[in-house]
Amino acid sequence: MKKFNFRKVLDGLTASSPGSGSGSGSNSSGGSGAMHPGGTAGVLREEIQETLTSEYFHICKTVRHGFPYQPTALAFDPVQKTLAIGTRTGAIRILGRPGVDCYCQHESGAAVLQLQFLINEGALVSASSDDTLHLWNLRQKRPAILHSLKFNRERITYCHLPFQSKWLYVGTERGNTHIVNIESFILSGYVIMWNKAIELSTKTHPGPVVHLSDSPRDEGKLLIGYENGTVVFWDLKSKRAELRVYYDEAIHSIDWHHEGKQFMCSHSDGSLTLWNLKSPSRPFQTTIPHGKSPREGRKSESCKPILKVEYKTCRNSEPFIIFSGGLSYDKACRRPSLTIMHGKAITVLEMDHPIVEFLTLCETPYPNEFQEPYAVVVLLEKDLIVVDLTQSNFPIFENPYPMDIHESPVTCTAYFADCPPDLILVLYSIGVKHKKQGYSNKEWPITGGAWNLGTQTYPEIIITGHADGSIKFWDASAITLQMLYKLKTAKVFEKQKVGEGKQTCEIVEEDPYAIQMIYWCPESRIFCVSGVSAYVIIYKFSRHEITTEIVSLEVRLQYDVEDIITPEPETSPPFPDLSSQLPSRSLSGSTNTVASEGVTKDSIPCLNVKTRPVRMPPGYQAELVIQLVWVDGEPPQQITSLAVSSAYGIVAFGNCNGLAVVDFIQKTVLLSMGTIDLYRSSDLYQRQPRSPRKNKQFIADNFCMRGLSNFYPDLTKRIRTSYQSLTELNDSPVPLELERCKSPTSDHVNGHYTSPTSQSCSSGKRLSSADVSKVNRWGPGRPPFRKAQSAACMEISLPVTTEESRENSYNRSRSSSISSIDKDSKEAITALYFMESFARKNDSTISPCLFVGTSLGMVLIISLNLPSADEQRFTEPVMVLPSGAVLTFSCMDRTGALMQPPYEVWKDPNNIDENEKSLRRKLVMNCPSPSQDIGDHQYTIICSEKQAKVFSLPSQTCLYVHNITETSFILQADVVVLCNSACLACFCANGHIMIMSLPSLRPMLDVNYLPLTDMRIARTFCFTNEGQALYLVSPTEIQRLTYSQEMCDNLQDMLGDLFTPIETPEAQNRGFLKGLFGGSGQTFDREELFGEASAGKASRSLAQHIPGPGGIEGMKGAAGGVMGELTRARIALDERGQRLGELEEKTAGMMTSAEAFSKHAHELMLKYKDKKWYQF
């Protein structure tokens, strides 16, 4: 365990950077040391022992949640009862019982064309669009490829694997059929060429193979369907076509009747044809299920193609005919449908999305028995549903998987690990009351695999914000995901009628209720969201239903472009010259305003809050709605940062115009001012022109964070992409028209304060700079507030990233919002943080503070003067005092432990018993008492897009500097806790994940994890405690990962088993007559026919065998040491013992049966021994 002595670090501060040993740059270290040349070297006398080392960290993916993006294929194992879904990106998701959810990926990324389970064998065959077959081993928790077979000269179109067979039939685009040995994955020399399958007189090519299946009656006969309507019944032994069927419409699919005497085809004209093997010259029956009844002498009207049909028989009822498509062309507006024909009843199930594939789940895996279908799995483009066939109204099963994450597009995420344990139960008990009804009362039919909780079972909650304004709370404990509670934020607003809401449309084209940011305090249960239409909603949790009016406030945030200070070149900090880049406009009028019926819009919010009393069910109930309003014809800018303190009862938010602070207990606006006004060291309302000499004094008197540019975890995540890219499920480019709505081009005037006791937040009339000093904005009886002089004098040389370098490093994924802000060089509020800290330099006591960080690198502190008595908090005003500047994004105490912001303990605000008690609020302060002698023993951590620094408070001494990246920039950074120690986790735009210890900023981990391909990852990537992180990997899926070595080691125990030993059900007794006349399937030997001895070897140029790493990787994943080997051996012995026991029981049963048969036969022989033939 290494110790770090701060005294030695500070002694060498002037000579070199304290972080140089961990990669800090000499330029930045020299800048830091020069400001305080050893002045505080002797202050720190305690040593902090850092317990984290690089052995604690390792990156690995844990589990993927959500619906598989762009699905293409579906397969089901009827014995193991597991489901597999293939996608266009080469991914495969294997689903079993809840908790059994596995993701695997083809390295090539080629689309999955078809999937085939080796039924009850723990293996899966996948055919991909690069004409490669893969064999996956499912007998391990992380499947791996055992073999691959690459076809070089032909393209794969269809595969079929008979039940309990090791020979796979492969159809190709040329019309040929090849056979592959599953065990060795080697091509057999037996080939069915297309020119031998069709008649010699046929002059045209039959097209690709679209269907392959062996006859249920005789396994030695293979049914081959070609695209042009030709069907060939091939005798494998005699190597010739036993019969051929021709139809003038293209074939899409074929399915057998279980007796093997009939088969059904679906065609491109919406027809179904039933063929009998005894009369192949014409269809036994032809129907167009959705076609109009033909008139006399006319042909039936054609319909849309029936893409797939399944023909399933029942012992005690009519057969099921289930197909997709086939609707009439004159019903263009009808949605995709699945049709179920059962006897004379026809049921059409309309779907919300196009049907990709469907499968009928049957009781038996044997194709020659009554199928007894009980459910249909329907794979849609954006959903997975299962229909119950055992009930006449065909209800659907309630899906236990989180397949509806993308029900509305995800726009932001939040991840909370190690939450209060009662939260999950509380949220579930509220959310279960609002679940949809009408589901099937039967259990979910996909029950394969096995799963246990594992060793790490601390509570985890994921929150997702969506484009329709909804919020979903998910239980993410033990690498599962289950929805707990859904909150609809749009219910606080009036519904917009057609033709209304134009002011909103000028900000976003659609989805005006979309969620941009989420802030949640699990301890106090205070929840706050900000939306794309520039609003903030504060929610409080209650178990009781209430009916009340929604309180709303309107805030006017402006950016003063006239009164920008221009430093001289020799004294200016290295961030852009604002006055030279901002457009020059006068206060007398706007040059670009939006008129509505000839009147300039002003002080109008984007949405209308409901004014009537609203019923609020138990759960989260709206406490306050805050809306930014139009200013002189310009729409409000979207909110870029958000923070809430339940202990202080204050919410703070900012955008590229300024900062607003609101007291949500008294429902008043405490502060509303432009960003530039936060730096004033004199009276805020004495706006006199400043000379360059006076400008020097301004810089010297203020704490300047030089170069802490664009806190990108917030700018990229919170100043969202242009809104169309947030809500679309594809990765289409951003329209340039939206940049007009995002760019801050309005005519701005000075920011303002509002009386803490007033209920209104309107700013009044617009004032010129000459008149503003004459107005008392604090209302009667209160003098104008003066900002305190800054006590800090310090510069921090974190590098500023210029627009050019940003565009070069991350040009494709830049949002129009960020580009527009950089273009106009507005200083956006990018980070807000409430904490008990030192308000000024060398303070001896801590006090409530709000830390504010901006996009130009300025970080300053705002002091909060709260009433001392708890009862006075509801009546006395809160004073908001802009003070000296101190830099922080997180705080640590003198022992190096992470300090959490104070919070209020939750109590139900609508509980009658609670209201009768005292109004005393119970606060938890996670920091030392002011009476303790804490001295210079509080540290703050700041991370810019390039650097991280650690400061000592209240002396404001820079202790450590670390250059995190030189060629890229940071998208997300968080201070998290792992193994009871704090560390800094960063995610860069170049895909690197980096972990640094605190407070020394020593690199613990640097892994090139994921190249940033789109803004979706940057917008949703988030770290949390206990080594967890997540991001939205596709529009429909959440990928979770861990950077904890301990969790990586335990991950194998947390994952579910995809394969469990299950005895294959025995085939039904066919009876004496069926066995005698039912065909020769029982004597068919595929090995003799397809083996190398009889069929020879296939051409080497036809296909290439590629050994897979499945065996080695599977051993590594399942083992991990001697204990893993012993565990596997024990499991194998258990399986062997179980099978031996079953075999022994079977043998005993057969012996008993044989003895009984022998006894009955002997009795029968004695009975008829002396009888003559005519006596029978």
Mean pLDDT score, 807-824: 37
**Predicted pLDDT at 1075:** 55
**Predicted pLDDT at 844:** 80
Position 44 pLDDT exceeds 50: no
Q: Which residue has the higher pLDDT, 811 or 912?
A: 912
Confidence of residue 863 (pLDDT cuts 50, 70, 90): confident
Confidence of residue 138 (pLDDT cuts 50, 70, 90): very high
Contact between 1122 and 1130 (Cβ < 8 Å):
no
| Percent composition of the chain: helix, strand, coil (DSSP 3-state, to 5) | 15, 35, 50
Mean pLDDT score, 252-260: 95
**Predicted pLDDT at 1083:** 61
Which of 36-40, 222-226, 958-962, 973-977 has the least mean pLDDT?
A: 36-40
Handedness of CA 492, 495, 500, 504 (dihedral sign): positive
Q: What is the pTM of this model?
A: 0.78
**Predicted pLDDT at 1126:** 55
Residues comprising the chain, all counted: 1176
Contact between 211 and 253 (Cβ < 8 Å):
yes
Confidence of residue 4 (pLDDT cuts 50, 70, 90): very low
What are phi and psi for residue 999, nearest 5 degrees? -95, 0
Return the HEC string of 478-517. Answer: HHCCEEEEEEEHHHHECCCCCCCCHHHHCCCCCCCCCEEE
Torsion of CA 1169, 1174, 1175, 1176, to 10 degrees: 80
Which of 270-279, 637-646, 710-719, 861-870 has the least mean pLDDT?
A: 710-719
**Predicted pLDDT at 498:** 58
What are phi and psi for residue 1006, nearest 5 degrees? -145, 105
Position 1122 pLDDT exceeds 90: no
Average pLDDT score over the chain? 76
Q: Which residue has the higher pLDDT, 925 or 1029?
A: 1029
Q: Rounded to an integer, what distance in angstroms lies between the CA atom of residue 889 and that of residue 713?
A: 12
Mean pLDDT score, 889-906: 84
Confidence of residue 147 (pLDDT cuts 50, 70, 90): very high
Per-residue pLDDT reduced to its tens digit, 57-74:
999 999 999 999 999 999
Per-residue pLDDT reduced to its tens digit, 467-521:
999 999 999 998 889 999 999 999 999 987 655 545 555 556 578 999 999 999 9
Nearest CA among 245, 255, 234 for reference residue 284: 245
**Predicted pLDDT at 674:** 86
Confidence of residue 1072 (pLDDT cuts 50, 70, 90): low
Q: Rounded to an integer, what distance in angstroms lies between the CA atom of residue 507 and that of residue 493?
A: 17
Position 894 pLDDT exceeds 70: yes
Nearest CA among 862, 946, 949, 879 for reference residue 658: 862
Burial of 6 (0-12, 13-18, 19+ CB in 10 A): buried
Position 834 pLDDT exceeds 60: yes
Q: Left, alpha or beta for 860 (phi > 0: left; psi -120 to 50: alpha)?
A: beta
Q: Rounded to an integer, what distance in angstroms lies between the CA atom of residue 947 and that of residue 689?
A: 35
**Predicted pLDDT at 797:** 32
Nearest CA among 731, 85, 125 for reference residue 383: 85
Handedness of CA 205, 206, 208, 209 (dihedral sign): negative
CA distances from 1021 to 370, 402, 843 (A): 51, 19, 37
Confidence of residue 600 (pLDDT cuts 50, 70, 90): low
Position 398 pLDDT exceeds 70: yes
Confidence of residue 642 (pLDDT cuts 50, 70, 90): very high
A 10 A CB-CB count for 641 gives 27
Contact between 95 and 85 (Cβ < 8 Å):
yes
At 304, list the tokens. Answer: 């849309």
Contact between 550 and 489 (Cβ < 8 Å):
no
Per-residue pLDDT reduced to its tens digit, 180-191:
999 999 999 999
Confidence of residue 199 (pLDDT cuts 50, 70, 90): confident
**Opening angle at CA 695, ends 689 and 698, nearest 5:** 110
